[in-house]
Chains A and B, each alone.
Chain A
């Protein structure tokens, strides 16, 4: 089993190159090997669908086709490369007698034993997959209208039914995942950069900047965020870019959490030591304070994505979000409202998608909190 001579290692690497995960399985790392195979199967399924529908495109053709094609190829490359790299790393790690575990390795091992987090991660990965390869997975009826069969109930050729314009609900849901995840992720990124910056400055320097930042936070927080977002979106005009900017800049909730985290980190001895040896403030912030606040930052990020998806859905539901022809879950629910009596499928399925996606982010965040912060255990 554990023959580590040159030939055996070479053989396993070749096996891994032939089929990612094979090398792991030969060496007895079953779970990891099967994980690679699962990934491979998902990739294969998407490739099969793409070929079946004739939507593989290389730089020519509709941009959304070649974007997904390139991503698919990139993912294949990552899969192969990662399997090989991981195999080498594991073999080397086994070679070394003492194997010191870092913080992130401990976290990863704890995470792999937490069913809650794994379920959440699984949900998110599936939704991401669907969003990235939407043109391959959908059957292309997201915008195509069928004015003869409009409001047709779920049937074999359109599993989730047709909406009031005869558009396929399933296809619209598939494309809607792009809007939800895209806006949610980019807005959260902005939240983290912006809110994180404010929290860091306020928490570290205290005094006047802190008071100023806290007052701004209080002002923004005193009106319900949804109402503020409604107001601003109505001023600037609905649209994806506006939504991202509004959510990104005014969603300042993370700043408060990061500030409190930084407030406690800055009192630690290592920060004092860094200051004593004369490290510049920027260095202390980036090398000492930020890495130690990263655990709560990760948890907040995950949770914020879920919140942002719900807010976007709510805004779209009220008619202030994504503009109508673009499929988005919230806007689909708004359209469904009129046809409640005749077409329940228009209302039920987009909502279920919102719940499942947001639930995924929430349980992942919950589990990350348990895993990253042993103090809370």
Chain B
């Protein structure tokens, strides 16, 4: 994990160094004199050897020395300010996705090859094929512009920086979270179905049936519980999908979270924020990956780690 993170920072550093556009000029703003640009360049240390610059970038991220060029705040602060918006969006999307996809996948597996199964699998395949941003646009169009039920964009009122605590904020949250959850829903429904079918092939299901247990007990207590493990653990791996989806939905619905910050910073060529964001997303991914591994061992006692 440490190796991967280190490799990633090096990759990002190389990429950022090749980024066209002079950061000093961006920081100085329009109408800056060459002298003032030179001063900023000195101050940023753009003439230092590369490894010094690299070290400054890394250490600056953690001790708050690294300034976002366009926000005049430490990068860390900029990211943390935007974090709640994306966090609640992501969590809402996951909850929504699980509440719909697990029952759907379960029913689809139980009534295999029935019209219900075909319906669920087709819709799930459809869900994978729908671009998140288009789905968000359509929700905005139908629910916001035509029916006037929900606000079209923005985050609405917030309480302590969270919008799900206010009614207005909650109404704003619906469209982006539904859009974001569409992919997760489709992925998890397919996964639940596949995992359930796999479990139902096992011998202990036959044993349970042979014991004369009621079908519902067999399905729920024996099959479903075991089928759930890969589904739950997979959510951790899907965090990359969530971030990518957040980039698109947040841009579409003007949701001021990390995804939108990513696009804005890339457009503004704000190298330090881009660097911080990429590292942040990668760390989230790796931490959730690790947690999933540990969780898996907890759920499935057959697996032990030395």
Contacts and interface: CB of A to CB of B under 8 A. Distances in A.
Secondary structure at chain A's binding surface: helix, strand, loop or mixed?
A: helix
B244 interface: yes
A341 interface: yes
Q: Tell me which of A222, A341, A355, A362 has the highest count of chain B C-beta atoms within 10 A of its own C-beta.
A: A222
Nearest to B18: A235
A359 B125 contact: yes
Nearest to B275: A231
Interface string B128-166: 111111100110110001000000100000000000000
Contacts, number: 126
A230 B248 contact: no
A234 B3 contact: no
B200 interface: no
Contacts of B128: 306, 358, 362
A222 B141 contact: no
Given A230-B263, A232-B15, A314-B133, A224 B145 contact: no
Contacts of B130: 355
A359 B126 contact: yes
Interface in A336-377: 336-337, 340-341, 344, 347-348, 351, 354-355, 358-359, 362-363, 366
Given A215-B4, A219-B11, A366-B125, A340 B140 contact: yes
A219 B4 contact: yes
A344 B262 CA distance: 28
A192 interface: no
A227 B134 contact: no
Given A235-B19, A310-B131, A227 B137 contact: no
A313 interface: yes
A314 B248 contact: yes
A114 interface: no
A344 B141 contact: yes
Given A227-B277, A347-B138, 11 more contacts: A223-B8, A223-B240, A223-B282, A227-B262, A227-B278, A235-B15, A235-B19, A333-B134, A354-B131, A355-B131, A359-B129
7 contacts: A219-B11, A230-B262, A313-B134, A320-B266, A340-B152, A348-B141, A351-B134
